Each structure stands twice: as C-alpha cells, then as structure tokens.
Amino acid sequence: MSRYKNSRIAINNNEMYLELFEERGVKKIKQFRTFSFKKVPQEVLDSIKTVNHIWVYGDTYAGLAAKYYSDPKMWWIIAGYNRKPTEALLEIGDVLKIPTSISEVMQVL
C-alpha cells in the first residue's frame, strides 16, 4: 500500500518553477500535500514511553518503522510523535523519540 494513498493532491503552476516546467514539457505538476497531525498537548506525548534514535545519513521514517515496529507502513507514528511530517525537516544528528507502544500513540495521534 502506498503511503500516499490518502494524501491530498495540489496542482502547482507557480511561476517560480517555470524553467522546470519547460524542461519537463508541462505547464503544471501535481504534488502531494504535506499532511498535518492532530494537535496533541506535549504532556500527553511525554506520558508515552520512548527510546531515542539519532538521525543518521540514510535514515528514513519507513526504515525506522521497519526496525522498531517490523512494519514500514507505521512510519507516520514516528513522524507524528516527533511533529516532523517529512524527513526533509530532519538533519543528521537530530534526536528522534520512537514510541515503544504503538497502541498508546495511536490513541492520541
């Protein structure tokens, strides 16, 4: 199953990308919108047991979900808990908190 299955799509025809559109022979492109998470109070998130993971070159949310949960489709749990919807918001050396109880975090996210 694609991780983008339920994502909203936006049409981008911004002049800023005109040169790119010309290179691709198109006038616009479809893009997946970055999703947002439910606003959960920090004290609720802090009540969930976690382990720390230092973000290193080559890490992906799907890879971490496979490592910690044995299911790459659970990537959104890590992204949501850390309030970083995309990997582009992370830098090498950032510390991610990985919730150890999927059921607990799913109740609040």
Q: Which residue has the tokens 């997946």?
A: 32
Task: Let me know if domain 42-108 sits in CATH 3.40.50.20.
Answer: no
Which residue in this structure is represented by tokens 């749990």?
A: 77
pTM (whole model) above 0.85: no
Phi/psi of residue 68, each to 5°? -90, -30
CATH 3.10.350.10 domain span(s) along the chain: 42-108
Model confidence at 1: pLDDT above 50? no
Average pLDDT over residues 83-98: 95
3-state DSSP call for residue 44?
helix
Residue type, 10: A
Mean pLDDT for the chain overall: 88
Of residues 106 and 1, more confidently modeled = 106
Per-residue pLDDT band at 14 (split at 50, 70, 90)? confident
- Return d(Cα 68, Cα 75) in angstroms, integer: 10
Express each pLDDT in 40-84 by its tens digit.
888 988 899 999 999 999 999 999 999 999 999 999 999 999 999
SS3 22: helix
Q: Pick the residue with more confidence: 31 or 23?
A: 23
